[in-house]
């Protein structure tokens, strides 16, 4: 038996030296294996040839099975690598040896790539995505950090505020050393420190009706983390008009809510769910009512998860649902939302245009 194995190794080595193609080398070894198995299956026990080849076909069959498993593993590994490194990357992909990701990026995003729901194609979608975050405060802070960490290729952030000491209890993207700096530039510095492979576009200004449409048109997905009702309705109207999906969240004291508003794809818009703004003073701001520090981190992280799911197509998002989180009593509940035909913003969304 060992003589046959030695013969197989010799054939493989000689063929390798002669630069025989791999498939021919495998075929030669396969022919040798088939002859040995045939000898053990057809010749009578005690035959010299059968004795020389082990006198039993079963070890050779087990050996062939083990070799088949190794080859299958190598083929599967090669297929996974091809998924991460497609043969025809986009024209705007960075120069990394013809692949969309450098080795450093592959290592950075490895935990995403091994997820069945994301994988190489999903990570590529994240890299190609353009996401606009409105607000770099309590909700915007975790959203921006997690989107940057996840490898979202282009992240815009708009905010007209500057960092204050009272922000640091919950707005973890900023630091004490950056008090007085515009929040968008403070956020940009922290995001690029976390992941230099993303592009951050800071807009240090207040979002207005006049420039919202032009700004939104440059992005695939809008995330609203503002604490101003007028801005929320403005964001919703423009997102509806441009058919951009909108992830919006709000917090106060111990409670927060989040939804994915996408009437162009069958969901409700923000105004379908909240047709009228609350009366003045009914929903106080965080400065007036207070807010527990980690709460915006919880809701902001949820916003980032919903954004990643919307981009990659993973799982089931919050389209058509409003999730409410009560931190004080550790409870969550979900409310179904539907487009309203009489909605002033979307007029029933996709249902109305069908």
**Residue where a domain terminates, one of 84, 118, 141:** 84
- DSSP 8-state secondary structure symbol assigned to residue 75: H
| C-alpha separations of 337 from 261, 274, 301, 306 in Å | 9, 10, 22, 17
Q: How many domains does the chain have?
A: 2
Out of 84, 112, 142, a domain closes at: 84
Domain enclosing residue 59, as ranges: 2-84
pLDDT score recorded for residue 63: 75
Q: Under DSSP, is residue 239 helix (H, G, I), strand (E, B) or coil?
A: helix
Looking at the fold, whether 167 and 270 belong to one and the same domain comes out as: yes
Q: 10-residue block means of pLDDT along the chain (354 residues)?
A: 66 66 72 73 71 70 76 65 43 51 93 94 96 96 98 97 95 96 97 97 94 96 93 95 96 95 94 87 74 95 97 94 96 95 87 50
Domain boundary among 28, 55, 84: 84
305: CATH = 3.40.50.720
Degrees, nearest 5: CA angle 325-326-328: 150
Helix axes 58-84, 119-128, angle to 10 degrees: 10
Is 92 domain-assigned? Answer: no
Asked, for residue 340, whether it belongs to a domain, the answer is: yes
**How many Cβ atoms are within 10 Å of 153's Cβ, its own excluded?**
17
Please check whether residue 128 is in contact with residue 122, taking contact to mean a CB–CB distance below 8 angstroms: no
| Nearest Cα to Cα of residue 109 among 122, 91, 92 | 122
Please list, in sequence order, all residues whose beta carbon lies within 8 angstroms of the beta carbon of residue 309, skipping any fewer than 6 positions away: 315, 316, 317
Instruction: Name the burial class of residue 22, with classes exposed (0-12), middle (13-18) and buried (19+) by CB atoms within 10 angstroms of its CB.
Output: exposed
Cα 266 to Cα 230: distance, rounded to the nearest angstrom: 25
Pairing, β 221-224 against β 246-252: parallel
DSSP 319: B
Which residue(s) pair with 130 in the sheet?
A: 154
Q: What is the pLDDT of residue 225?
A: 93
The whole-angstrom separation of Cα 125 and Cα 133 is: 18
**At how many degrees (to 10) do helices 119-128 and 295-312 cross?**
110
């Amino acid at each position: 038996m060992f003589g046959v194995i030695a013969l197989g190794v010799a054939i493989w080595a000689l063929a390798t030296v002669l630069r025989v193609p791999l498939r021919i080398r495998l075929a030669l070894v396969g022919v040798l294996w088939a002859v040995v198995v045939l000898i053990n299956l057809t010749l009578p026990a005690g035959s010299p040839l059968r004795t020389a080849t082990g006198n039993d076909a079963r070890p050779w069959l087990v050996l062939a099975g083990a070799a088949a498993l190794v080859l299958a593993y190598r083929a599967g590994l090669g297929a996974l690598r091809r998924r991460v490194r497609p043969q025809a990357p986009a024209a705007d992909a960075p120069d990394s040896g013809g692949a969309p990701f450098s080795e450093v990026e592959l290592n950075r995003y490895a935990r995403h790539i091994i997820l069945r729901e994301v994988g190489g194609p999903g990570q590529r979608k994240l890299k190609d995505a353009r996401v606009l975050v409105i607000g770099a405060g309590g909700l915007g802070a975790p959203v921006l950090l997690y989107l940057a960490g996840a490898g979202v290729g282009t992240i815009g952030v708009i905010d007209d505020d500057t960092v204050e000491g009272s922000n640091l209890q919950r707005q973890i993207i900023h630091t004490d050393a950056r008090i007085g700096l515009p929040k968008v530039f403070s956020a940009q510095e922290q995001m690029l420190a976390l992941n230099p492979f993303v592009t951050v576009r800071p807009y240090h200004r207040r979002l207005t009706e006049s420039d919202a449409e032009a700004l939104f048109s440059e992005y695939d997905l809008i995330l609203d983390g503002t604490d101003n009702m007028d801005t929320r309705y403005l964001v919703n109207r423009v997102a509806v008009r441009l058919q951009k999906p909108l992830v919006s969240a709000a917090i106060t004291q111990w409670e927060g809510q989040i939804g994915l508003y996408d009437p162009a794809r069958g969901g409700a818009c923000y105004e379908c769910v909240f047709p009228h703004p609350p009366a003045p003073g009914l929903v106080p701001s965080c400065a007036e009512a207070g807010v527990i520090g980690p709460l915006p981190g919880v809701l902001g992280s949820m916003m980032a998860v919903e954004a990643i799911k919307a981009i990659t197509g993973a799982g089931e998002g919050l389209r058509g649902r409003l999730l409410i989180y009560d931190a004080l009593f550790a409870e969550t509940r979900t409310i179904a939302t539907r487009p309203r035909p009489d909605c002033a913003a979307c007029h029933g969304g996709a249902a109305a245009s069908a």
